[in-house]
Amino acid sequence: MEHVQWALSELLFNDKKVGKATHNMFAYRFTSGDNNNGNYTHFSDNDDDGEKGSGSKLASLLEMCRVENVFVVVSRWFGGMKLGPARFKWIAGVARDGLVQGGFLLK
């Protein structure tokens, strides 16, 4: 979806710190359709930006929380220490916090 690519490009260009992150993982879920006849189309995708498996974890979070019309980006900077599988807990936690702060999810 071109809106997602536009939003990501704007974020990476306008926030230099985010633009220099080692990984900018994202996932999105959108629904469009006609409220009158109940025909809806769902769009969703994700990208892990080299942080293997993180995009699908973000997508799973969005699906489990049943949030719609949202685009979430989590940025990670490599600081010299490998986090192992625990990184997914931190990535999902940051994404969930963002959804709460954005009003897409109750605390």
**DSSP character at residue 72:** E
What pTM was estimated for this model as a whole?
0.87
Question: Distance between the two ends of the chain, CA-based, in angstroms?
Answer: 29
27-81: pLDDT as tens digits: 999 988 776 777 888 899 999 999 999 999 999 999 999 999 999 999 999 888 8
Instruction: Pull the structure tokens for residue 71.
Output: 């685009």
pLDDT score at 35: 66
CA distances from 70 to 17, 22, 36, 41 (A): 22, 23, 22, 15
Site of tokens 């230099």: 16
pLDDT score at 81: 81
